[in-house]
C-alpha cells in the first residue's frame, strides 16, 4: 500500500480532484429539466466550458466536450510512464479511430474535404494520423494508401480487400475496431499484476459488450455466416471468451444466443432482448464497475481509466441534455435518450 501510494500518490490526488467534476445522476437529470439559460451553473460544476448559446448553436458542443476531456487526460497522463501511459494513450486513441471512421464515411458519401474536416474532433497532440491529408484524398483507395504509412500493410490490405469484396463500410470499420481492441487487450496484458487487477475488470467488460453486441448484429442484422461473424469479432473478454463466442456464433436467433450466455452475463442482462438495450445494459454494468473502482480503491491506474470512462459517458449525456434543451425537446424524451430515465415516454416537442 505504501509503495503504491508513493508511486501513484500524485495521480491519485489528481483523480480524486477530477472526480469532483462528475455530476450525480440527479444533477444530470436536473440538467435535462433546466432551461438553456440556467444550465450554466451545473455546467460550471462539471467544469465544462460548453454552451449551446455561444452563437454557433450546438455545433461546438462535441468538440468542446472532447477538448475538455483531452485536457484532463493530459493532466492524468503526465505522471504516468511506460505501460500505464501507453494504455491510457491507446484508450484515448479511440477518438482518432472515430475520426478515421468519419473520414471513411465522408469519402464514401462524397463529402467535401471541408465538410469532413468540420466533422472531425480536434485531438491536439493525441492524434498521429494526418487528418488533413486523409480528408483531401479523392477516393477510398488513395485513402488506404495514405493509411499504409500508419498501419501494417497486411491490415490495410485486408481492409482494402474486404471493402473491394463487399463494398460495405462496416466491414472496413470492423477490421479497424478489431485491431484497436486487440491492441488494447495486449496493452492491458503488459501491465504489472498489481495494476492489471483494477484495469482488467473494466476492459474485459468492454470487450464482452463489444463482442456480444456485434455478434448479434453480424449474425442476425447483417446475416453473416458463423465463421465470418466469428472472424470479425474482437478478442475475448471476461465471459465472452473465444470458446463461448464459438458456441454462440453457431446459434440461429437472438433468443437462443441470450439463453446460452454464461450465467453471469445472463444475470447482467436481465430481461432485455433488443440489441440496443443489451448494449445499454452492458455499458451501465461496465460503468458501475468503473464507479466502484473510482470510489472504493486507491492508488492505482484503474482509477484513472475509470475516471476517463465515466467522464466520457457523462460528457455524452450532458451533450444530449444541452442539445435537447436547445432544440426544445420534451425533457422526458431527452432523459430517455440520455439514458437517465428508462421506460417509454411521450415524445412531444415543446414547439418554438
Partner 1 sequence: MFKPLAMQYATIFLVSEDVAAASLALAESEAFNPQARDESEALPERPGEDYRALYESARGRLSKVLSYLQVESESEPKSSWRRPISEAELARTDERLGEIWRECSTCQQREQRTREQRRELEQLERVLEKYEALDIDLGLLHGGLQFLDLHIGSVAQRDVARLREAVGIIGYNLTVFMSLDSTAYVVVSGLKGAEHELRTVLNAASFRHLELPSQFRDRPTELRKDLDIRRQRINADEEMLRRQLGQARRVHGPFLREATETLALAAPYAQLAETLQGRGALVRISGWVPEDREKQLRASLAARLAGRFAVESRPPRSEEQDQVPTLVRYPWLFRPFAALVNNYGVPRYGELDPTWLFAITFVLMFGTMFGDIGQGLTISALGLIFRSRLKRFALFFVLAGLSSAGFGVIYGSVFGSEQIVHPLWMSPLSDPQRMLTLAVYWGAALILLATALTIYNRIVQHELIRAFLGGRGVAGAVLYVGLLLAAHRWMTDGPWSSGEQLLVFVPLILVAGYQWHRHKGGIGERIMVTLIETVETVISYLANTLSFLRIAAFSLNHVILAITVFTLADMMGAFGHWVVVILGNIFIIVLEGAIVGIQVLRLEYYEGFSRFFGGDGRPFRPLVVGLSPAQGR
Q: Judge whether 347 and 333 are in contact, CB under 8 Å.
A: yes
> Quick one: which of 225, 228, 227, 245 has its CA closest to 236?
245
Nearest CB to partner 1, comparing residues 85 and 217: 217
Q: Judge whether 310 and 294 are in contact, CB under 8 Å.
A: yes
Q: What is the Cα–Cα distance from 258 to 238, expressed in whole angstroms?
A: 16
Site for partner 1 in 94-113 (CB under 8 A): 112-113
Report in angstroms how near the CB of residue 171 gets to partner 1 at its nearest.
7
Per-position x/- string for 44-83, each x denoting binding to partner 1 as judged by CB under 8 A, each - no binding: -----------x----------------------------
Listed ranges 25-33, 164-172, 285-293, 334-342: which one lies at the site for partner 1 (CB under 8 A): 164-172
Which residues make Cβ contacts (< 8 Å) with residue 339, sequence separation at least 6?
280, 284, 317
Grid cell locating 21:
467534476
In the list 154, 263, 343, 351, the residue contacting partner 1 (rule: CB under 8 A) is 154
User: Does residue 339 belong to the site contacting partner 1 (CB under 8 A)?
Assistant: no
Report in angstroms how near the CB of residue 114 gets to partner 1 at its nearest.
6
> Quick one: which of 201, 242, 249, 260 has its CA closest to 226?
249
Nearest CB to partner 1, comparing residues 169 and 272: 169
User: Does residue 155 belong to the site contacting partner 1 (CB under 8 A)?
Assistant: yes
Which residues make Cβ contacts (< 8 Å) with residue 278, sequence separation at least 6?
212, 213, 216, 269, 272
Per-position x/- string for 178-217, each x denoting binding to partner 1 as judged by CB under 8 A, each - no binding: ----------------------------------------
Report in angstroms how near the CB of residue 151 gets to partner 1 at its nearest.
12
**For every residue of 199-250, which 3-state class applies, written as one string?**
HHHHHHHHHHHHHHHHHHHHHHHCCCCHHHHHHHCCCCCCCCCHHHHHHHHC
State the virtual CA torsion across 54, 55, 58, 59 in degrees, nearest 10.
-110
Report in angstroms how near the CB of residue 269 gets to partner 1 at its nearest.
24
User: Does residue 17 belong to the site contacting partner 1 (CB under 8 A)?
Assistant: no
Q: What is the Cα–Cα distance from 198 to 179, expressed in whole angstroms?
A: 23
Report in angstroms how near the CB of residue 232 gets to partner 1 at its nearest.
6
Site for partner 1 in 212-241 (CB under 8 A): 224-228, 230-232
Q: What is the largest CA-CA distance in the chain?
A: 60
Report in angstroms how near the CB of residue 99 gets to partner 1 at its nearest.
18
Site for partner 1 in 114-153 (CB under 8 A): 114, 136, 138-139, 141-142, 145, 152
Report in angstroms how near the CB of residue 58 gets to partner 1 at its nearest.
17
Report in angstroms how near the CB of residue 280 gets to partner 1 at its nearest.
28
- Cell 444530470: give the residue: 28
Q: What is the Cα–Cα distance from 47 to 186, expressed in whole angstroms?
A: 34
In the list 246, 264, 267, 347, the residue contacting partner 1 (rule: CB under 8 A) is 246
Residues binding partner 1 (CB under 8 A)? 55, 112-114, 136, 138-139, 141-142, 145, 152, 154-155, 157-158, 161-162, 165-166, 171, 224-228, 230-232, 242, 246, 249-250
Amino acid at each position: 500500500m505504501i509503495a503504491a501510494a508513493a508511486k501513484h500518490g500524485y495521480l491519485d490526488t489528481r483523480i480524486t480532484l477530477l472526480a469532483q467534476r462528475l455530476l450525480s445522476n440527479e444533477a444530470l437529470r436536473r440538467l435535462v429539466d433546466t432551461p438553456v439559460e440556467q444550465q450554466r451553473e451545473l455546467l460550471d460544476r462539471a467544469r465544462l466550458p460548453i454552451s449551446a448559446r455561444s452563437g454557433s448553436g450546438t455545433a461546438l458542443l462535441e468538440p468542446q466536450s472532447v477538448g475538455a476531456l483531452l485536457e484532463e487526460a493530459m493532466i492524468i497522463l503526465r505522471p504516468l510512464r511506460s505501460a500505464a501511459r501507453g494504455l491510457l494513450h491507446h484508450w484515448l486513441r479511440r477518438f482518432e479511430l472515430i475520426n478515421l471512421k468519419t473520414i471513411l464515411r465522408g469519402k464514401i458519401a462524397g463529402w467535401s474535404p471541408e465538410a469532413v474536416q468540420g466533422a472531425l474532433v480536434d485531438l491536439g497532440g493525441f492524434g498521429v494520423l494526418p487528418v488533413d491529408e486523409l480528408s483531401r484524398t479523392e477516393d477510398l483507395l488513395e485513402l488506404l494508401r495514405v493509411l499504409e504509412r500508419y498501419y501494417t500493410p497486411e491490415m490495410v490490405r485486408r481492409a482494402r480487400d474486404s471493402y473491394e469484396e463487399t463494398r460495405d463500410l462496416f466491414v472496413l470499420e470492423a477490421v479497424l475496431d478489431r485491431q484497436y481492441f486487440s491492441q488494447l487487450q495486449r496493452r492491458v496484458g503488459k501491465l504489472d499484476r498489481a495494476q492489471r487487477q483494477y484495469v482488467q475488470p473494466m476492459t474485459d467488460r468492454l470487450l464482452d459488450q463489444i463482442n456480444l453486441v456485434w455478434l448479434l448484429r453480424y449474425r442476425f442484422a447483417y446475416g453473416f455466416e458463423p465463421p465470418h461473424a466469428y472472424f470479425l469479432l474482437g478478442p475475448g473478454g471476461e465471459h465472452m471468451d473465444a470458446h463461448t463466442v464459438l458456441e454462440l456464433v453457431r446459434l440461429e436467433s437472438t433468443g437462443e444466443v441470450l439463453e446460452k450466455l454464461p450465467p453471469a452475463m445472463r444475470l447482467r442482462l436481465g430481461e432485455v432482448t433488443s440489441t440496443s438495450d443489451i448494449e445499454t445494459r452492458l455499458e451501465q454494468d461496465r460503468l458501475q464497475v468503473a464507479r466502484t473502482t473510482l470510489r472504493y480503491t486507491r492508488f492505482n491506474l484503474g482509477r484513472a481509466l475509470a475516471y476517463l470512462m465515466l467522464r466520457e459517458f457523462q460528457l455524452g449525456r450532458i451533450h444530449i441534455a444541452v442539445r435537447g434543451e436547445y432544440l426544445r425537446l420534451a425533457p422526458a424524451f431527452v432523459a430517455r435518450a440520455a439514458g437517465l430515465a428508462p421506460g417509454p415516454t411521450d415524445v412531444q416537442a415543446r414547439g418554438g
